[in-house]
Structure 1
Amino acid sequence: MKTLSSAPGRRFRLLLAPVALLAFALSACAGTTSGSTTDDGVVRFMNSSKSFTALPGLYAMQSGLYADAGLKVTELPLAQNSVAPVQAMLAGQVDMVMVGGEGVLAAHDAGQTNVVTVAVIARPTYQLVLSEKAIAAVAASGVSVDAPIDRKVAALKGLTLGTNGAGTSIDAGFRATLASAGLEPDRDVTIRPIPDASASLAAFREGQIDGYTATLPNPQIGVAEGIGEVWIDYAGGEVPQLKDLTFFHLATTREFIESHHDSVQKFVDAITKADDEIKADPDEVMKTMSTTPYFKDLDPKVYQSSFEQVLPALSGGPAPTEAGFQAQLDLANANPNRKGPSKATFAEVFDTSFVTAEAAE
């Protein structure tokens, strides 16, 4: 582990941290619980993404905004998915997490209503990339990348496409997109679950799939290599019903809020300030983050295009909307593997007082 106020973030990686490393780190930090009666400004934090999805959080770490707010943020290793950090938090091993919305909703569906989201980090940050061969075949039928979204979606019929797998917001969002154009997922399109973005890119390079969905920067790697082109830009808001989706959350527990209310407020304020600085001077932030361990190994063209194309997904700021939550709920309830519809409500999942308090200053 390291203290973020005094050291830069770990090396950016698309692959997830090993289970053994996560377990070791959690056991090492288990000596302190969120039940402390004194708000000492210490926050144990876990992130489930080091991609552009987490850009406001990564920038807040790198630029020292947490330290400026008077926080001592200790980061645990990158989590494997959006569920593991939430479970670690409920076990008292982590105080705050950045996870996909599905992880928070899954906790509520399991009766763990102690989990609460205090800010939205990003709306959808993913894209669907098609191979040049697939685009040529679609173009022969009279559909180009500039066509209306419903025609572009309908043109996917018969293709083999990779997604992150059942239960993820990306997979659910893609299936909902297909259905909106009258296609039936798993019948009109062959969907291959590929949980790891690097594996999706490898399968794409080898021609095993015609396209894939992934969060930035992964789609832009295929584009930069000249083997694909963005067909549907979820990050750019091309799919109207999903553009406000509460995709990536900053969550904690109600107990931690009670015992560390000021720390939670300071954390949200730091994220909000990071958002503001990204919007006010994106070129400067892009320059700053380009040399950090998160992104310094990316091809410069991939880095720049990914940074620029993720900005619309961050433009909504940290305040959640009921429409965005409803979109998330609709996606979850459309999952055929669910035992029943989620009964979670906006008021149960979100505590909006922290973003409201910051905005009022």
Structure 2
Amino acid sequence: MRFFLTLILLLTNTLFGWGSGSVSAQASDELTAAAINGESAILIDGTTGQVLFQKNPHVTLYPASITKIATGIYAIENGNPDDIVTVSKKARYEDGTRVYLGEGEQVSLKKLEYGLLMHSGNDAATAIAEHLAGTTEKFAERLNEYLAEKVGVTETHFANAHGLHDPNHYTTAADMAKIAQYAMKNPIFREIVATKRLPWDGREWKSELINHNKMLWRYEGATGIKNGFTDEARHTLVVSAKRGGSEFIAVTMKASSSALAYQDVTQMLDYGFAHYETRQVAKAGDRFTLATAAASERREEFTAPSDLFVTVPIGSEPQIEVTPQGMLRVQAGTFTQEFSLKRKEQPEIPARLLAISSSDQTGSESQTARYAILFTWLLLNIMLVFYVVARAKKRRRSTSHQDWRRRVG
């Protein structure tokens, strides 16, 4: 019997690779779409957003409970965690997974966010939606507007806050990666989705929440975030993991089983850590100069508006240049990434000094004109003096000559 139990454990570890967190054999080779069970999948760098692997990333599919990633970050950014939410009858009798809220029960918004993201409570999702928007329909409208504006999704339309099936409730792996990346930038969201266990003291249910994301226990460096399932969506899963300075996000959608969904994200994350790393190429305020062809020309200077990071293949050194358009272009392997730089302005001259400088220049020109007029005036006066003196001398000579003729005559 012991032999058979050992054999089963070995087969399980071989198939699913749980617990070790080490890079799988497949990670050393190129990851192919055929190796991923999900109908759609994507792997991105969680810091830069660089796509590292994808399989049908823009196919429209049902998300199931990974919808709650969007609901959670919306609630965190638009609600007060200390707000007291009164649970409605609709929330109390919501279908699917619940944290067993009681009708009329009063719960803090923060507590509901934990129930939403850790235990995937559909009742918590509805309670949050009604509290923030009045109705679940109005909440869906606001959520869609928020995701388009804040995250930049273009292939997503949510009809509810929880992800229970609705024909008009859909997204793509590419959009879910963007939503997850945005959400994981929020420290409160990160704290919730990384929490493994939490005591739950409700009016109708006293228990302990255990995070449904198994990767938190089974994958080295796992930091979140959410799984989901409905009959129509099948198994969906979004997972983030961080090792060293690199954090990657993997998404798989419509996998045929939970085990295969976890296998998908494990392979993608292993592949990411085996082949890529996140590198900082600039700190906020770092200066860059645009070199010109002629050394005599004035060189333009730019500064980095924020800390800048790029994804590079492991072992490659990024090549950096400043474009004439003021972009920082970074080339690393097959990746080319560009960042807008801030043009460094010349020291601003105060208006008072600028006026003085301007008046000095104008004054210099007018002063030259005044000197010219003065010189002309002096010259004319000198000529007039010479003329008067000459006339006086001539008159004196004429008078003297007449006196002499009178004396002689």
TM, length-normalised to structure 2: 0.21
Q: Which has the higher strand share?
A: 2
Q: Which of structures 1 and 2 has the bigger CA Rg?
A: 2
Which has the higher relative contact order, 1 or 2, with Cα contacts under 8 A spaced 6 or more apart? Answer: 1
